[in-house]
């Protein structure tokens, strides 16, 4: 639709397509009750106010309103990129994610700390002595069952000695004769050993306990395979029977083999897993980026990145060279809160940079194409102009036509660009498989018109219409933004059609033309010669009209070549050629005659100067 609406400006104002696509927003303005359209001309200049004919004002106003309605969301996005609010929005979302991760880590470490303290409290409860135990008292090993909830059930002193020694108690032996010995422990040593067991419990966490804190459920198997962050932190230990009772409450006479982490490693592993295992304040996994920035990333992101398209937004991202191991929250149905995965990481700052870089790149490319198109249009009109002369200082959001960019065949509404010439051309007259605007909007048109359609034809149509209406060529050229004489490329009237228009104007505006024929018409009209007779006379005289170097000529030069060699002002008698007409409404005609007069005056002055000096040479 935007491409179709460009034609309102080409047909209504005769603008070049490049000029249409570079129109500024709010291009229509009113001055002294008249409507004008601001059109960019040359580099460093403000837009020129182009007069809008009355019959086109409603159509152009409607077109601008419809264009604004279509382009408004993309214009707002362009403005947000230009003023930095889009980048701020990305930052805000990223920082919210960082804060959420920090809170998750904090929460997990709090649960871990609580689990450790709960273990210590439980161990203290399990190891609480059954009755008062004086520090200095020596207690025979077989009596320890009176004081300890984990005492050995053996009766022989040898077994008792072995049990308590192996479980870390400081056993004191006293001889009873030559062979027998009695074994004791001091109350203070028993209390110290209990304290050691409690501190040992404070310093380690079984893997199952770590798993339950991390995933907030008990493990179903012996051990999770998700051990990337735990590989070098997991340790194995054969607990003594006392340690097994103290830590688990179970009676294990032979001890127990366990997998555990010391508390420092547990804290580190918990932080790594919950935070993702990478610098989450700088990077973000691609799959997270798809969730956090869905307007920029999608499920085909990695395919696009792997493709390495230089025109793609992804080509501007700073991405990890290879796949990295990290953790991410799992789906609820998986039973695990976090799962080890691998993937690519993207630097957050590069996302903002990529938006700006892509925005600049795509619009620089489109603007260059527009400048080249305008340059080619100027050249087609006979005007030499450099590309640099057409540069303008206008932000993307200031253009009238702002659309989603086309990056690698995918439209991206978040990175807008100026509507391109090729987009217009393809929409109206597509190549290969696409449907033209004529077909999509149900416009019945001859195949020849469809195949030969060009956007520039609107400029030709408007110019030729003005010529056919009898407007002076200089006025048409000035309004169309051309230099004098370029209108010849656009006047598609035949010499006969031009003659009919001059004849009509010569009757209706009798003071507009000068020349032998115009003077006769004016004189006869003043003498009340009937208009019908004047029309017959003019029809007979004006069979053809073409442009001459100083004005119009109605001689049929195809049948009768000029006998005065284009000396229109002098003719044979010095009174001018009778087939020569000057349009006084055409400033170019007047200027050309004035220039001719100036040249003649200079030449005559020079000749008279020589004559007056009497210096005539033989």
Contact 275, 269 (CB under 8 A): no
Q: What is the 3-state secondary structure (H, E, C) of 171-206?
A: EEEEEECCCEEEEEEEHHHHHHHHHHHHHHHHCEEE
pLDDT at 307: 62
- For the entire predicted model, the pTM comes to 0.67
Other Cβ atoms less than 10 A from the Cβ of 158: the count is: 10
pLDDT at 346: 93
What is d(CA 405, CA 359) in angstroms, rounded to the nearest whole number? Answer: 8
Quickly list DSSP for 226-246.
--TTTTTT-EEEEE-HHHHHH
Nearest to 15 by CA among 33, 42, 41: 41
pLDDT at 226: 55
Average pLDDT score over the chain: 83
pLDDT in tens, 132-164: 999 999 999 999 999 999 888 888 889 999 999
Token representation of residue 256: 């127990």
pLDDT at 44 over 50: no
Residues 6+ apart with CB under 8 A from 398: 24, 25
Nearest to 16 by CA among 285, 377, 297: 377
Q: Which helix (H) or strand (E) holds 362?
A: helix 348-380
pLDDT at 43 over 50: no
Contact 576, 550 (CB under 8 A): no
Nearest to 18 by CA among 366, 287, 449: 366
Pairing of strands 552-553, 580-583: antiparallel
Half-sphere exposure of 116 (CA within 13 A, CB side): 21
Q: Ranked by mean pLDDT, which of 93-107, 166-180, 591-605 comes out on top?
A: 93-107
**Residue 540: which pLDDT band, with cuts at 50, 70 and 90?**
confident
Instruction: Express as a percent the part of the chain with pLDDT over 90.
Output: 36
- The secondary structure of residue 558, as a DSSP letter, is T
What is d(CA 167, CA 181) in angstroms, rounded to the nearest whole number? Answer: 20
pLDDT in tens, 404-429: 987 666 678 888 999 988 888 888 87
pLDDT at 543: 81
Pairing of strands 513-514, 580-583: antiparallel
Q: Ranked by mean pLDDT, which of 162-166, 251-255, 608-612 comes out on top?
A: 162-166
pLDDT at 599: 83
Token representation of residue 218: 């008990």
Of 201-215, 280-294, 306-320, 408-422, the one with minimum mean pLDDT is 306-320
**Residue 296: which pLDDT band, with cuts at 50, 70 and 90?**
confident
pLDDT in tens, 92-104: 999 999 999 999 9
What is d(CA 207, CA 225) in angstroms, rounded to the nearest whole number? Answer: 12
pLDDT at 618: 45
What is d(CA 424, CA 285) in angstroms, rounded to the nearest whole number? Answer: 39
pLDDT at 223 over 90: no
What is d(CA 271, CA 265) in angstroms, rounded to the nearest whole number? Answer: 10
**Residue 490: which pLDDT band, with cuts at 50, 70 and 90?**
low
Residue with tokens 């520039």: 456
pLDDT at 492 over 80: no
Q: Which residue has the higher pLDDT, 589 or 91?
A: 91
Phi and psi (nearest 5°) for 584? -70, -15
Determine the average pLDDT of the residues in 466-488. 69
Nearest to 593 by CA among 539, 515, 521, 533: 515
pLDDT at 380 over 80: no
What is d(CA 272, CA 101) in angstroms, rounded to the nearest whole number? Answer: 11
Determine the average pLDDT of the residues in 122-137. 94
């Amino acid at each position: 639709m935007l491409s179709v609406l460009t034609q309102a400006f080409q047909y209504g104002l005769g603008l070049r397509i490049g000029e249409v696509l570079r129109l500024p927003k709010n291009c229509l303005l009113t001055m002294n009750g008249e409507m004008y359209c601001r059109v960019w001309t040359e580099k460093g200049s403000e837009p020129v106010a182009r007069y809008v004919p009355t019959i086109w004002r409603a159509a152009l106003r409607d077109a601008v309103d419809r264009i604004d309605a279509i382009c408004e969301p993309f214009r707002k996005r362009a403005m947000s990129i230009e003023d930095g609010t889009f980048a701020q929005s990305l930052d805000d979302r990223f920082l919210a994610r960082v804060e959420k991760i920090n809170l998750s880590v904090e929460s997990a470490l709090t649960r871990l700390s609580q689990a450790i303290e709960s273990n210590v409290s439980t161990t203290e409860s399990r190891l609480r002595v059954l009755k008062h135990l004086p520090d200095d008292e020596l207690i025979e090993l077989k009596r320890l069952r009176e004081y300890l909830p984990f005492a050995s059930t053996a009766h022989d002193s040898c077994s008792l000695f072995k049990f308590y020694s192996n479980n870390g108690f400081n056993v004191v032996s006293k001889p009873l004769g030559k062979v027998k010995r009695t074994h004791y422990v001091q109350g203070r040593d028993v209390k110290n050993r209990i304290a050691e067991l409690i501190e040992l419990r404070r310093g380690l966490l079984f893997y199952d306990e770590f798993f339950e804190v991390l995933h907030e459920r008990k493990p179903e198997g012996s051990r999770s395979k998700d051990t990337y962050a735990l590989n070098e932190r997991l340790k194995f230990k054969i607990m003594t029977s006392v340690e097994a009772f103290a830590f688990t409450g179970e009676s294990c006479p032979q001890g127990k083999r366990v997998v555990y982490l010391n508390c420092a490693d547990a804290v580190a592993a918990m932080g790594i897993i919950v935070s993702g295992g990478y610098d989450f304040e700088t990077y973000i996994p691609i799959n997270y980026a798809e969730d956090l920035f869905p307007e920029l990333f999608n499920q085909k992101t990695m395919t696009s990145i792997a493709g390495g398209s230089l025109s793609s937004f992804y080509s501007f991202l700073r991405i990890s060279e290879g796949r990295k191991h990290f953790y991410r929250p799992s789906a609820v149905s998986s039973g695990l809160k976090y799962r080890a995965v691998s993937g690519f990481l993207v630097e957050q700052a590069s996302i903002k940079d990529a938006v700006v870089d892509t925005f600049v790149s795509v619009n620089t490319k489109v603007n260059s194409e527009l400048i080249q198109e305008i340059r080619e249009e100027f050249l087609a009109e006979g005007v030499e102009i450099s590309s640099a002369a057409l540069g303008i200082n206008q932000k993307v959001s200031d253009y009238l036509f702002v659309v989603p960019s086309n990056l690698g065949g995918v439209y991206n509404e978040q990175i807008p660009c100026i509507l391109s010439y090729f987009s217009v051309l393809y929409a109206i007259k597509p190549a290969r498989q696409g449907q033209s605007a004529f077909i999509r909007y149900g416009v019945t048109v001859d195949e020849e018109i469809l195949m030969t359609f060009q956007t520039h034809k609107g400029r030709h149509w408007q110019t030729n219409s003005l010529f056919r209406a009898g407007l002076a060529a200089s006025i048409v050229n000035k309004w169309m933004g051309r230099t004098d004489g370029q209108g010849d490329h656009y006047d598609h009237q035949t010499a006969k059609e031009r003659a009919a228009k001059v004849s009509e104007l010569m009757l209706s505006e009798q003071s507009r033309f000068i020349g032998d024929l115009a003077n006769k018409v004016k004189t006869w009209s003043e003498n009340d010669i009937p208009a019908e007779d004047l029309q017959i006379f003019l029809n007979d005289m004006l069979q053809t009209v073409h442009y001459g170097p100083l004005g119009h000529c109605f001689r049929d030069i195809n049948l009768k070549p000029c006998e005065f060699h284009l000396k229109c002002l002098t003719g044979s008698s010095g009174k001018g050629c009778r087939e020569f007409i000057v349009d006084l409404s055409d400033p170019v005609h007047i200027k050309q005659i004035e220039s001719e007069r100036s040249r003649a005056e200079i030449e005559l002055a020079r000749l008279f100067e020589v004559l007056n000096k009497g210096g005539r040479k033989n």
